[in-house]
């Protein structure tokens, strides 16, 4: 829970503050390229519902509070250097609920947690926005095997005839922990969202390579919802995997260094997987 001081700061910022920015990561808007879930200025990351349970939302307030116990490491190991801390602390940032793709707010929140000086207004404004944002449920973003729809929509999983999940064979052993299993369940259900270079959260769409964090942010999973040409059949596929990062980019096994993996993929063989 946020400290009394932080709550007071949020309350003060919220009074009379009107914003045209979308404060919810998940506020669905239609654009030419498909459905986009929020802009970078907002942050309540409402995860999709699976197995009948909705995962808890992460917040910038939780991020700040979760980082504060690591102030000693920030000062001693990283000598107060925000970039050094961020680039080597993916696990800490993920556990604290921080959005590692939204670097403007992230750096501001690290400063707020450890220094309370410098450019911390960006973080405080993001906290104020998420505190006042209405809660929304996007569990409806899902596909169904054998689904029949009069009109196929590449941005609407409800119109897809879902095919079994396929995973590039050499990465089958990378999803044994609870986080990996959750990623595969979400991908198989067509509600695994992707990150983008413009700090937006992208909802599922066909034939576009996307990525999500894996291994608490230090790794990346590259995936695609691949449509069979001329049909409504869509296959969720893990097409690449990264075991390292270079700043905000990933070191993909088949695609080299970049934000998203290549598509079509260079993976030579796939296995059908039933997530558990």
pLDDT tens for each residue of 83-118: 899 888 888 887 787 877 777 888 899 999 998 877
Over 70: is that where the pLDDT of 194 sits?
Answer: yes
Other CB atoms within a 10 A radius of the CB of residue 114 amount to: 22
How confident is the model at residue 97, as a pLDDT? 74
Digit-coded pLDDT (tens) for 226-249? 999 999 999 999 999 999 887 678
Among all chains, which residue has been given the structure tokens 């449920």? 137
Over 80: is that where the pLDDT of 213 sits?
Answer: yes
Residues 6+ apart with CB under 8 A from 276: 181
Task: Give CA–CA dist 49/102, Å, rounded.
Answer: 23
DSSP 47: P
DSSP 144: B
Other CB atoms within a 10 A radius of the CB of residue 69 amount to: 11
DSSP 51: T
Among all chains, which residue has been given the structure tokens 């080597």? 88
CA 11 to chain CA mean position, Å = 27
Give Cα separations from 113 to 2, 62, 109, 123 (angstroms).
11, 11, 6, 10
Other CB atoms within a 10 A radius of the CB of residue 188 amount to: 22
Q: What are 201's strand-pairing partners? A: 37, 195
Q: At what angle do helices 103-114 and 60-67 cross, to 10 degrees?
A: 40
Task: Give CA–CA dist 265/225, Å, rounded.
Answer: 12
Taking the model in full, what pTM does it have? 0.58
Q: Please, what sign has the CA dihedral across residues 170, 173, 178, 179?
A: negative
How confident is the model at residue 136, as a pLDDT? 44
Over 80: is that where the pLDDT of 34 sits?
Answer: no
Residues 6+ apart with CB under 8 A from 224: 207, 208, 209, 210, 236, 237, 239, 263, 265
- In this structure, the dihedral spanned by the alpha carbons of residues 192, 198, 200 and 205, taken in order and rounded to 10 degrees, is -40
Over 60: is that where the pLDDT of 39 sits?
Answer: no
Return the ∠ at Cα 51 (arms to 50 and 54), rounded to 5°. Answer: 50
């Amino acid at each position: 829970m946020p400290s009394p001081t932080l709550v007071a700061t949020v309350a003060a910022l919220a009074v009379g503050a009107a914003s045209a920015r979308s404060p919810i990561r998940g506020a669905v808007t239609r654009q030419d390229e498909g459905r986009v879930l929020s802009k970078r200025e907002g942050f309540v990351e409402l995860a999709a519902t699976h197995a009948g349970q909705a995962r808890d939302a992460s917040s910038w307030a939780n991020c700040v509070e979760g980082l504060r116990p690591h102030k000693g490491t920030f000062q001693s190991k990283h000598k107060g250097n925000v970039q050094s801390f961020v680039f080597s602390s993916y696990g800490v940032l993920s556990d604290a609920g921080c959005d590692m793709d939204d670097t403007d707010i992230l750096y501001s929140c690290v400063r707020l947690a450890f220094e309370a000086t410098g450019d911390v207004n960006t973080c405080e404004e993001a906290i104020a926005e998420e505190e006042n944002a209405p809660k929304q449920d996007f569990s409806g973003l899902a596909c169904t095997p054998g689904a029949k729809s009069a009109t196929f929509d590449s941005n609407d999983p409800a119109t897809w005839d879902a095919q079994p999940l396929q995973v590039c064979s050499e990465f089958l052993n990378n999803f044994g922990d609870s986080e990996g299993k959750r990623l595969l369940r979400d991908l198989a259900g067509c509600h695994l969202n992707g990150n983008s270079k413009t700090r937006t959260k992208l909802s599922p769409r066909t034939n576009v390579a996307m990525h999500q964090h894996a291994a608490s942010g230090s790794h990346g999973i590259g995936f695609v919802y691949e449509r069979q040409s001329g049909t409504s059949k869509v296959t969720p596929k893990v097409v690449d995997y990264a075991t390292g990062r270079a700043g905000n980019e990933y070191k993909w096994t088949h695609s080299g260094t970049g934000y998203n993996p290549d598509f079509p993929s260079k993976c030579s063989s796939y296995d059908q997987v039933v997530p558990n």
